Structure 1
Amino acid sequence: MQTGAGAPRGVPRFRDVLVAPRNWALWRQGPRVVVYCLLSEAAAVVLALRPFPVAVDRRTLLILAVLLVLGVVQSETGRRVERIRRRVSGTPHINMTSVWTFAGVLLLPPSLLAVLVCGLYAHLAVRSWYRLQRVPVSRTVSNAAIILLSCYAAQAVMRLSGFADVRSAFTRGWAGTFAIAAAGATFFVVNALLVLPARREIGRTPEALFGTWSDNGLEVATLCLGALNAVALAMLPGLVVLALPPLLLLHRTVLVRQLEVAAHRDEKTGLYNSSGWHSLAERTLAAAARQNTTFGLLMLDLDHFKQVNDTYGHLAGDAVLRAVAEAIISAVRGRGDAVGRFGGEEFVVLLPGIAHPDIGAVAERIRRAITTLKVPVGQLTITGLSTSIGMAVYPEAGTSLQRLLDAADTALYHAKATGRNKVVHVADLA
């Protein structure tokens, strides 16, 4: 995206994002993403324009105005934080518009709900996201369409439960409470599922697909605040402004957490970096010493990786590293295992509680997963990757982290010296 005269370099002016349709970033996303985005946007438009047999009164219009104003105020006061959060986020980005859109689900008819979603996302696009070149206008439109479809799914659950809005839920006690909870759960699930096909690269792990537990906990928290906002607007409208202080505090708390995570993550692969992995490994070592348990270490080095960079370029090499990282994560046992990148093409895996016979099975599974990788790079596909792996188990191979790493490293280089693309246990060398 080019900058105009007088604009700071790298910071586009608003008129620069109003490009001709033929130049939209959407067309560069691939046929699957293009078709899905157009279909989802068309579905959102059709549903928004369908007639709804409820008259819109002044009170409903006032509620729409309050939600729009508060959503804009929250966006403006948290704009700087939102930009930083999006830049450091390595997983699907969770914004906080659900505080206002879910309140709209419980209070507004479908047509006004569409106005609310479009208004909030138009403001976000203009004031918060247009400076981030990886959030083009087409992506903002797609996000708004997906949110609107999620809102309509949640409204459908409310109406199937026999409630027109949150006011009618008041009259039925627990039945109304369960209906609102079901609507929130529907919004959460439908939104998570609708986002996946719109992504150019779909991850292979649950975290890459749906975000971390903290990401999803944030979305649940905003939905809860949205339900409380709806109750406040229906009963004591003035209380709705009380949602702003905790919401802004939550915004900053989430940013601090994201920055802490980013400080321990490798930028290219999303794995633990060296310092983050060492910190976790030291805690695992201390726990194993206290509890008299075992854990394993794997050290991996991609074979002939320099040839990938020399043949296809460093951007292709980065794509290979990301694919290898995902392959390793998919091959380990679960959340307790920790995968790190030590730099270059070297990776390390921490396997808490593993015994000698089992570590070889995990290592072999990783080796096979890497040999079957097919990494698309532009019009080409990189295949024929392999890795050499060294293994060590605490406490047999050492009682300090450095001794264990040295032992695994010795086994790794023995694997390289004896033919590559193999797994070697340090105990076998003795």
Structure 2
Amino acid sequence: MPFPATWKLWQQHPRVVGYSLACVAAVVLLTAVFARIRPPAQEDLAPLVILAGLGVLQAELGRQVERVRRRLSGSPYITMSSAWTFAAVLVVPPTLVAALVAVLYLHLGLRSWYRLHRVPPFRTTNNACCVILSCYAASAVLLATGVEDMATAISAGWWGAGAVLAALVVQFVVNAVLILPARNDIGRTPRQLFGGWADNGLDLATLCVGVFNGVALTTLPGLVVLAVPVVLLLHRVVLLVSQLEAAATRDGKTGVLNPAGWRTRAEAALARTERARTGLGLLMIDLDHFKQVNDTHGHPAGDAVLKAIATTITRSVRDHNDAVGRYGGEEFVVALPDIEPAGIAIVAERIRHAVSQLAVEAGTEERPRTITGLSVSVGTAASPAGGATLDALIRVADGALYEAKHAGRNRVVPGVSA
């Protein structure tokens, strides 16, 4: 475990650091308060264990879908855990709800987010704290209405139904608002602030499943297992939507962004860095002597090389915020938001070195073939010195790429502003 002084938390915007620490402090304080108001009892442990087990089971069964969805969307924003956490709000004391959230998010952080996109631990911790605080807000609504749990709600009739719906709305709204200050870039439009209709619809759907889980746990606990296939189906539907969106923005041959999709991501990243007064780096990458690969090994082998190059570039950038795209033919482009010029050179050199180590299997079982000796030339540009627009940065990086080609290839050349 890294020492506290090396945590990525301290590298964030001071607002993010302060807010993250405040959320942890609020969770600790409110946990102590709720422990006195409604202390856990022994009979509360059984539903807690059931919900934790089903939540982990659903996450494990959905890991393949989650892996594809994260790769397509690039953002671990909406999870399916509300189906279990809101059910806990309705059946167990608030302090045990916090314990459930901790278990589910620890599992998500270790098994999905960190492995897929190297999401730092402080992000997972902050997300969990925001969920706990939103659950506490929902629990406070139930306590204020006199509906302590689902059993009380059922006996209270319409009043109980209204209390549960109010708690659901409060948890949804509070969670959406609490997560905003934790972002480095909050955004300005409603979509940037709170996500699209699909994201919010998914969140509401999982909360609704949580209501039915609460009813099942209170009346016929064994039926709660039926929620698992429902949540998995919701997850797969979201994947299908992501795949349809990816079909419009991804290059079918390499899997990275196509020119239109990359430009959209890069323009948005440039706008964010301008507001934050940070820098955007841009890399133009061209595969050296690609025609020889096609002429010597054939076009299917050339396609395999292009895909391997795209995968290598994607693995060599910093994280999912860096946008990798195919610019055309054997040329790729990368947008690196929030980076200093020295960092741009490091990423570019890492890509160049990784490509030089590639060994691409491009043959068949009958005629195995390994292609080695690949190299790329890289031209770089940095805002604001290289230009205030994306097209200006592309021109600078393309000029540097031209110099790299004519200087002997297999090298990185920094661009000079016009």
Do both proteins adopt the same fold according to a TM-score greater than 0.5, normalized to the shorter chain? yes
Task: State whether residues 130 and 178 of structure 2, in contact with CA within 8 Å, keep that contact through their aligned partners in structure 1.
Answer: yes
Asked if the contact 1:92/1:211 (under 8 Å) is kept, the reply is no
Distance 2:261 2:340 in 1: 33
How many equivalent residue pairs?
285
Contact kept, 8 Å, 2:38 with 2:94, in 1: the verdict is no
Q: Is the 8 A contact 1:86 1:93 kept in 2?
A: no
1:86 aligned residue: 70
Which deviations, in whole Å up to 9, do the C-alpha atoms of 1:344-369 show, x marking residues without a partner?
A: 9xxxxxxxxxxxxxxxxxxxxxxxxx
Contact in 1 for aligned 2:258/2:327 (Cα 8 Å): no
Q: Do 1:376 and 1:382's aligned partners in 2 also have CA atoms closer than 8 Å?
A: no
- Which amino acid in the other structure matches residue 43 of structure 1? A
2:29 pairs, out of 46, 66, 70, with 46
What is the match of residue 62 of structure 1?
46
Equivalences for residues 195-206 of structure 1 within 5 A:
195-206=179-190
The 1:54–1:159 alpha-carbon spacing in structure 2 relative to 1, beyond 3 Å, is closer
Match of 1:52, SS? helix
CA deviation after TM superposition for structure 1 residue 130, in Å: 2.3
Q: Give the match's secondary structure for 2:185.
A: coil
CA distance 1:252–1:386, change in 2 (3 Å): closer
Unaligned ranges ≥5, structure 1: 1-17, 278-300, 302-307, 319-340, 345-374, 389-430
Quote the Cα distance in structure 1 between the aligned partners of 2:118 and 2:205.
27
1:137-169 CA-partner distances (Å, limit 9, x unpaired): 111111110000000011111111221111111
Distance in 2 between residues matched to 1:274 and 1:139, nearest whole Å: 30
| CA deviation string 1:261-296 (max 9, x = no partner) | 1222379xxx9964999xxxxxxxxxxxxxxxxxxx
Return the offset for 1:52: 2.5
Question: What residue number does 2:4 align with?
Answer: 21
The alpha-carbon deviation at position 314 of structure 1 amounts to 6.7
Aligned to 2:346: none
Query: What's the counterpart of residue 130 of structure 1?
Result: 114
1:112-141: CA deviation from partner (whole Å, max 9, x where unpaired) = 111111111111122222213441111111
Q: Distance in 2 between matches of 1:183 and 1:192?
A: 14
Q: How many Å separate the matches in 2 of 1:313 and 1:63?
A: 50
Match of 1:7 in 2: none
Deviation at 1:387, TM superposition (A): 9.9
**Whole-angstrom CA distance in 2 between matches of 1:132 and 1:223:** 26
Cα 1:44–1:54, aligned 2, differ >3 Å: closer, same or farther? closer
Contact 1:169–1:175 (CA<8 Å) still a contact in 2?
Answer: yes
Tell me, yes or no, if the aligned pair for 2:89 and 2:97 is still in contact at 8 Å: yes
Contact 1:202–1:208 (CA<8 Å) still a contact in 2? yes
Structure 2 CA distance for partners of 1:256 and 1:189, relative to 1, 3 Å: same
Q: Residue 315 of structure 1: SS of its match in structure 2?
A: strand
CA distance in 2, matches of 1:211, 1:381: 28
Question: What is aligned with 1:213?
Answer: 197
Question: Do the aligned residues in 2 keep the contact of 1:52 with 1:110 (CA within 8 Å)?
Answer: no
Match of 1:264 in 2: 248
Q: Confirm or deny: 8 A CA contact 1:121 1:140 kept in the other structure.
A: yes
Give the structure 2 partner of residue 95 of structure 1.
79
Cα separation, partners in 2 of 1:30 and 1:263, compared to 1, 3 Å: same
1:247 aligned onto 2:213: no
Q: CA deviation at 1:316?
A: 5.5
TM alignment of 1:345-356, pairs within 5 A: none
Contact 2:279 2:338 in 1 (8 A): no
* Whole-angstrom CA distance in 1 between matches of 2:262 and 2:185: 26
CA deviation string 1:182-222 (max 9, x = no partner): 11111111101111110112223222221110111000000
Distance 1:220 1:273 in 2: 34
Structure-to-structure mapping, 1:219-234, within 5 angstroms? 219-234=203-218
Residue aligned with 1:131, SS: helix
* One-letter amino acid matched to 2:20: C
1:295-334 matches, within 5 Å, as 315=281
Q: What CA distance in whole angstroms lies between the structure 2 residues aligned with 1:56 and 1:135?
A: 33
**Of the candidates 94, 105, 114, which is equivalent to residue 121 of structure 1?**
105
- Check the 8 A contact 1:105/1:155 in 2, yes or no: yes
TM-score of the superposition, structure 1-length normalised?
0.60
- Supply the distance in 1 between the matched residues of 2:13 and 2:2 (Cα, whole angstroms): 19
Post-superposition Cα deviations, 1:207-263, rounded to whole Å, max 9, x if no partner, equal 222111011100000000001000100011011001011111111121111121122
Cα offset for 1:377? 5.9
- Per-residue Cα deviation, 1:313-371 (whole angstroms, up to 9, x for no partner): 971689xxxxxxxxxxxxxxxxxxxxxx9979xxxxxxxxxxxxxxxxxxxxxxxxxxx
Question: Residue by residue, what CA displacement relative to the aligned partner does 1:64-116 show, whole Å, maximum 9, x if unpaired?
Answer: 11011111111111112222222322566201000000001111112211111
- Residue in structure 1 matched with residue 15 of structure 2 by the alignment: 32
Q: Distance in 1 between matches of 2:162 and 2:197?
A: 24
* Identical residues among aligned pairs (%): 48
**What residue in structure 2 maps to residue 150 of structure 1?**
134
